[in-house]
Amino acid sequence: MQERIIGANLPSGAALAYLGDAWYSLFIRRRLIDAGIEKAGELNAAALSFVTAKKQAERMRRILPLLTEDEADVFRRASNASHPHRPKGATAADYRYATGFEALVGMLCYLKDEERLLYLMEKAHTEEETENDTED
């Protein structure tokens, strides 16, 4: 049986979300460049359409059924943490899910589980969605 990884073995949910936010931003930027977008202004506008709390919450809801027990625990802890500030235009529920999404990404990044991270990101993103998101 695999040893559980949660708890004292990981940084705080806020620290994981911070790391996850940075990793996800780079992931999105790479996808956009790979899609052929090369102008800085277009890249920035397209990237911003992917990293909103609403879009991250949608992606989290898509992959939630795929999570392991440890991944679900990290998501739950981060999404249930106190959130005194939330971005304009985001519902409280979307902001909680987005924070949980970032913490999940951060945990997998911290654990250097790139295979699992990329698997979940591919499940969270579809080719059709990529085309539609850049039009938002």
Q: What token pair was written down for 5?
A: 């990884």
Structural domain contains residue 18: yes
Residue with tokens 């440890």, as numbered in its chain: 70
Structural domain contains residue 102: yes
Structural domain contains residue 1: no
- What tens digit of pLDDT does each residue of 8-56 get? 588 999 999 999 999 999 999 999 999 999 999 999 999 988 889 999 9
Q: What pTM value is reported for the model? A: 0.84
Q: Does the annotation count 21 as an active-site position?
A: yes
- What tens digit of pLDDT does each residue of 55-86 get? 999 999 999 999 999 999 999 999 888 666 66
Structural domain contains residue 12: yes
Q: What is the CATH number of the domain that holds 60?
A: 1.10.1520.10
Catalytic: which of 21, 70, 73, 94?
A: 21
pLDDT of residue 73: 93
Total number of residues shown for the chain: 136
User: CA 20 → CA 8, 42, 101, 136, distances in Å?
Assistant: 18, 23, 8, 23
Contact criterion met (CB below 8 Å) for 55 and 124 = no
Kindly state the percentage of the chain with pLDDT values over 70. 82
